């Protein structure tokens, strides 16, 4: 993409409404524009990041055997009457009336809809287990939206719903989700710690929130140092291996890790002092096994092998996709701007022409651009007539991982320069060799 042909409305100064880093940087780098409180338009750069996160989430869900669907944003109020949540949900739910006077609502979540889909089509244990998920816009009419996309009213969320014939199978579904979430966060370049969550009136051990550690996090978290030392890494996951999956889940959830809501100081104090850590965290996902709460109220039954009927066991699982954009920035930035982890970067690299109007540098930039694009890489070419300082400042701000710097000085000696945004390290690369050496470097 040639920058002069793109739409990248960056701001040099901080918008006064943005208080926290990610919100400020998202506005300054032209990723979003506020439309009203807690509701945003996603501009090209922001949309690219959002879609990259979405794609990774989808891939990991599909890898875990979960099935994508798409449910509507507008839902009929009748279904919510059935579950009893029409009254319970309160004014956080945006209620709408259509022209016929029918009660509608902008969905804050989808348990009712998905249960309705399930009960219409699945009646036998033979069709189980199944997990349906979708990634869709939700709306919660927060009293006080803030922190940009981290706590907007409209938000983009992956929510999945598992259906199982019995508790044992449902727990395996729960564990499967745990692993698929851990993998998702790792691929995004984030460390998210599963923390025991409040299960409310339903009770039980089966709810975890996933927290990313960041200074600006909204909750205080307490954890055993062990949890930040563990990662899935490259290991192969066999989602059909119940024991294996359960063992991995155990290894991640056994060490102490809780938010201030469920924190137990006495338990925490049993850890050796050097392993007791506390920090702030941003919640980026939650998984929940709630049994038959909705299947009972909405009458979603299945027939078991012995011919008896039973209510289907359910769980729901969410990842805040739009919130993750903010969380990623909170976890990856410096004074100059954003530092995107490569997997979610809006562009892998940017070619910076240091001397606009110089035929030779322009030609080299264009050649590099063509090479990289034809190699399948998504690169930006800063072909603006701007001073170098402006170009560097812009690119540092929007956080593209690699800067390919082309200027007459180095070029006269046959070199171009490659700078890594994260550590600022620069490498000189022979221009004659740039198609192979550069490609290798970018594919690290």
Question: Among residues 126 and 387, whose Cβ is nearest to RNA?
Answer: 387
Of all helices (H) and strands (E), which one includes residue 241? none
Closest approach, Cβ 281 to RNA, in A, equals 11
d(CA 310, CA 307): 10
Closest approach, Cβ 159 to RNA, in A, equals 9
Question: Among residues 109 and 237, whose Cβ is nearest to RNA?
Answer: 109
Closest approach, Cβ 377 to RNA, in A, equals 21
Closest approach, Cβ 396 to RNA, in A, equals 4
Residue 443, classed as helix, strand or coil, is coil
d(CA 272, CA 281): 22
d(CA 189, CA 345): 11
Pairing of strands 349-353, 379-382: parallel
Question: Among residues 50 and 237, whose Cβ is nearest to RNA?
Answer: 50
Question: Among residues 152 and 346, whose Cβ is nearest to RNA?
Answer: 152
Torsion of CA 432, 437, 441, 444, to 10 degrees: 160
410 CB-contact burial (10 Å; exposed 0-12 / middle 13-18 / buried 19+)? middle
Answer yes or no: are the C-beta atoms of 100 and 136 closer than 8 Å: no
Question: Among residues 141 and 166, whose Cβ is nearest to RNA?
Answer: 141
Question: Among residues 247 and 424, whose Cβ is nearest to RNA?
Answer: 424
Q: 44-63 vs 167-188: helix axis angle to the nearest 10? A: 140
In whole angstroms, what separates CA 192 from the centre of its chain? 11
| One-character DSSP codes across 11-26 | -SS--TT--SHHHHHH
Closest approach, Cβ 391 to RNA, in A, equals 8
Question: Among residues 165 and 216, whose Cβ is nearest to RNA?
Answer: 216
Closest approach, Cβ 432 to RNA, in A, equals 16
Give the binding site for RNA (CB under 7 A). Answer: 10-17, 19-20, 34, 36-38, 140, 142-147, 149-153, 155, 157, 209, 218-219, 283-286, 318, 320, 322-323, 336, 354-357, 385-390, 392-394, 396-397, 405, 407-411, 417, 419, 424
Which of 46, 22, 42, 37 lies closest to 146, judged by CA? Answer: 37
Closest approach, Cβ 350 to RNA, in A, equals 12
d(CA 101, CA 118): 27
d(CA 197, CA 316): 14
Two tokens, residue 100? 């016929």
Question: Among residues 241 and 260, whose Cβ is nearest to RNA?
Answer: 260
Closest approach, Cβ 85 to RNA, in A, equals 14
């Amino acid at each position: 993409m040639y920058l002069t042909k793109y739409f990248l409305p960056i701001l040099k100064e901080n918008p006064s409404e943005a208080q926290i880093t990610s919100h400020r940087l998202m506005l300054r780098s032209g990723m979003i524009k506020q439309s009203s409180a807690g509701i945003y338009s996603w501009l090209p750069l922001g949309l690219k990041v959002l879609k990259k996160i979405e794609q990774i989430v989808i891939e990991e869900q599909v890898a875990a055997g979960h099935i994508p669907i798409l449910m509507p944003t507008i839902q009929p109020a009748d279904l919510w009457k059935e579950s009893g949540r029409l009254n319970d949900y309160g004014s956080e739910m945006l209620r709408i009336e259509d022209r016929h006077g029918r009660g509608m609502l902008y969905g804050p979540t989808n348990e009712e809809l998905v249960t309705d889909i399930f009960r219409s089509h699945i009646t036998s244990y033979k069709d189980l287990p199944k997990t349906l998920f979708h990634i869709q816009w939700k709306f919660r009419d927060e009293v006080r939206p803030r922190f940009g996309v981290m706590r907007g009213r409209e938000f983009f969320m992956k929510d999945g719903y598992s259906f199982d014939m019995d508790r044992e199978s449902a727990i395996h579904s729960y564990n499967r989700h745990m692993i698929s979430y851990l993998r998702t966060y790792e691929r995004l370049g984030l460390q998210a710690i599963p923390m025991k969550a409040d299960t409310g009136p339903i009770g039980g051990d089966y709810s975890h929130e996933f927290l990313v550690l960041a200074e600006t996090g909204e909750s205080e978290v307490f954890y055993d140092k062990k949890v930040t030392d563990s990662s899935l890494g490259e290991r192969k996951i066999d989602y059909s291996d119940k024991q294996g999956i359960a063992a991995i889940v155990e290894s991640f959830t056994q060490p102490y890790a809780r938010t201030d809501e469920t924190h137990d100081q006495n338990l925490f104090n049993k850890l050796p002092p050097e392993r007791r850590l506390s920090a702030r965290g941003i919640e980026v996902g939650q998984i929940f096994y709630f049994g038959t709460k909705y299947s009972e109220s909405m009458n979603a039954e299945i027939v078991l092998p012995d011919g008896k009927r039973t209510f289907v066991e359910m769980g729901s699982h969410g990842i805040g996709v739009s919130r993750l954009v903010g969380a990623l920035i909170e976890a990856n930035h410096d004074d100059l701007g954003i530092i995107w982890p490569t997997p979610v970067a809006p562009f892998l690299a940017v070619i910076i022409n240091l001397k606009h109007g110089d035929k030779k540098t322009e030609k080299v930039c264009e050649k590099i651009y063509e090479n990289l694009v034809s190699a399948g890489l998504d690169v930006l070419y800063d072909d603006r007539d701007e001073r170098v300082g402006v170009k560097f400042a812009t690119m540092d701000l929007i956080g593209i991982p690699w800067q390919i710097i082309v200027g007459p000085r180095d070029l006269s000696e046959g070199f171009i320069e490659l700078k890594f945004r994260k550590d600022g390290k620069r490498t000189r690369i022979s221009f004659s060799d740039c198609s192979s050496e550069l490609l290798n470097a970018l594919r690290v």
